[in-house]
Structure 1
Amino acid sequence: MEPAAIVSALQRFDWQAWGMKLLAAVVIFLVGMWLAKRLSAGLERVLGRTHADATLGGFLRRASYAAMMVLVIITALTSLGVNPTSMLAVLGAAGLAVGLALKDSLSNIASGVMLIVLRPFRDGDYVQAAGLEGIVEEVRIFQTRMRTLDNRLIVLPNSLITTAPIINFTAKPRRRIDIPVGVGYDDDLKQAKAILLKIAQDHPHVLDEPAPSVVVNKLSESSVDLILLAWTKTPDFGPTKSDLTEAVRTEIIGQGLNIPYPQRDLHVYHHNGDGAPLGDIVTKGVVDDGDVAKPAP
């Protein structure tokens, strides 16, 4: 196209009408974004008043905001004169290509929906997911955020969580504390069991029902292994286990019983001509001359 034709086309172009359309599109986008934020936040507040799960409220807020922003963008482009049918066709083709390229991200979205629907955990639960432990902070569309007890942040893709075992440590109101205790073979087992039961019964956070008990686990090489079983409320699990473990050590030793150390007898042989033990050779080769041991002449 010749420069004169370009100039003529620009002169005939209705800049004022196009500017008004552009202004309208900008206004639609800004107002639509403001409304999307308000409506999605309002949805979360409504769900909160109905005592719905906080995880569900946060997930629906983010999902509804994304859906409303798609509508806002389509409306803004339509106000500029873009044909919505053509635009939807382009978006459909682009969506297919993006879906194939981002299939892992789409699996994270599907896994996020599964986590919301099935609810294996909620915000604030202490869980083990994909081999990692932490307190669940929030479930997002693509990922789940957890915080460890030493305040580190763990960000897990949702697809990793749904394809691995999930252990929820705080889902039930009660938890059982198992404390293994080894006593000597010469100790009185009845006395040891009575001491362990009294320790559990005297602790204020140990529940009466189910009642605490002591079982004989196995006969080890150097000890008889007992296990103290005591139930407590889930929030009291950590402190109660620490208290019981300390009390077991103090009371077992204080009552004259033993917590034996693992030990082995080692016999070393010198493989010489007569097969005599190495200890005998060393003993015969050293004489005691007062306080100083000297080699034999």
Structure 2
Amino acid sequence: MIPFFTQLMTDPIVIEKADSVKSSFSQWMENLSSMSAQDLFKTVANGAVSIALKIVIALVIFWVGRWLIRRVRKMMDRIMTRRNVDVSLRAFLISLVTITMMLFLIIITIGILGIDTTSFIALFASAGLAIGMALSGTLQNFAGGVMILLFRPFRVGDFIEAQGQSGTVKEIQLIHTLLNTADNKTILLPNGPVSTGIINNYSRESRRRVDWTFGIAYGDNYDVARGVLLELLEADERVAKDPAPFVALTALADSSVNIVVRAWVESGEYWNVYFDLNERVYKTFTERGLNIPFPQMDVHLHKDETK
């Protein structure tokens, strides 16, 4: 704070205003000493009436302004409550708007009293600039937190991937978002990069598509393999019937005939269905005489007959 006040006291605008006030006060004292008693009385009386009138007007405007600010506070609270805005964000936004409106009301009131408000505006601008430069990174994260809480690209409990990290959203703060990873680690993501980067929200939709690729050996019966896969999917109640599961031959690879399988499940059952089908396919293919190939190389030896 000391460097800030030192910079403020050496600010050319502040020094110029201070010199102007000092010069005006000296001139007023000289004029006052040269006046007669009757002129002095008239001047004081007129000044008192003028000041009293300005004070009354300023008080009325201040009272009306306070009433309007309270109305705006209540209206903002109703609107944000109806839209389910986060409680911490709601309190902050209401306080920010209230303080800003109060500052403008005070400046307007002071201006009605005849006091030059330029110095006050310069003071507020200098303070805002200094604070903004000192907290630039924090303010970026804060603004990102406000955007996340307003537009809700994800909610607490969603499983997301952002900034190269993935996990379940544990808490959304104004500066950080807390993720809980699958191995129970807590990761704090700064909200600035999160709000401007790519977010993959796996929990946003109620359904997800599970994709598998299974390989069978060359010479195995593809129709049998396809029938086994459809049979396994049909027997699993977690797999959606509409849209129906999709099974097709996708590639003739170097060592296998690859079959792609796609099925829709509830988002919460994604990994359970994925792992279960892998296990059942491995067991059932062997029972049905289907071979699961592995990479292999055929080497052909040719004998040189000239030797």
Q: Residue 86 of structure 2 aligns to a residue in which SS?
A: helix
C-alpha contact (below 8 Å) 2:86/2:149 kept by paired residues? no
Q: Is the 8 A contact 1:59 1:139 kept in 2?
A: no
Question: For the Cα contact (< 8 Å) 1:63–1:141, is it kept in 2?
Answer: no
Residue 280 of structure 2 corresponds to residue 239 of structure 1 = no
CA distance in 2, matches of 1:51, 1:232: 31
Deviation (angstroms), 1:60:
1.6
Give the distance between the partners of 2:99 and 2:264, measured in 1 at CA. Answer: 52
User: SS in structure 2 opposite 1:151?
Assistant: coil
Tell me if 1:120 matches 2:149.
no
Q: TM-score, normalised by structure 2?
A: 0.61
Q: CA deviation at 1:66?
A: 6.7
Q: Which amino acid is 1:102 matched to?
A: L
1:62 deviation in Å? 5.9
Percent identity of paired positions between Structure 1 and Structure 2: 35
Name the CA shift for 1:149/1:58 in 2 (closer, same or farther; >3 Å). farther
Spell out, residue by residue over 1:56-105, the C-alpha distance to the aligned partner (whole angstroms, 9 max, x if none). Answer: 4144256259749979xx9xxxxxxxxxx888864542221121232222
The TM-score, its normalising length taken from structure 1, stands at 0.63
Residue segments in structure 2 that go unaligned for 5+ positions in a row:
1-72, 104-116
Residues 259, 142 of structure 1: alpha-carbon distance in 2 compared, 3 angstrom cutoff? same
Q: Is 1:205 matched up with 2:233?
A: no
Change (3 A) 1:255 1:91: same
**Which of 122, 131, 136 in structure 1 is aligned with 2:164?**
131
**Structure 1 residues 167 and 248, CA, compared in 2 at 3 Å: closer, same or farther?**
same
Tell me how far 1:265 sits from its aligned partner.
3.7
Aligned counterpart, 1:11: none
- Tell me how far apart the structure 1 counterparts of residues 124 and 187 of structure 2 sit (CA, whole Å): 34
- Comparing both structures, which one devotes a greater share of its residues to helix? 2
Equivalent residue for 2:211, pick from 178, 187, 193: 178
Label 1:205 to 1:242 Cα distance change in 2 as closer, same or farther (>3 A).
Answer: same
Residue pair 1:146, 1:155 contacting (<8 A) in 2 also = yes
2:12 aligned residue: none
Question: SS in structure 2 opposite 1:135?
Answer: strand
Question: 3-state SS of the aligned residue for 2:290?
Answer: coil
Deviations 1:187-233 (A, max 9, x none): 01111001001101100111111111212121110001111111111
| Aligned residue in 2 for 1:97 | 130
Instruction: Determine whether 1:156 maps to 2:185.
Output: no
CA contact (8 A) 1:217 1:227 kept: yes
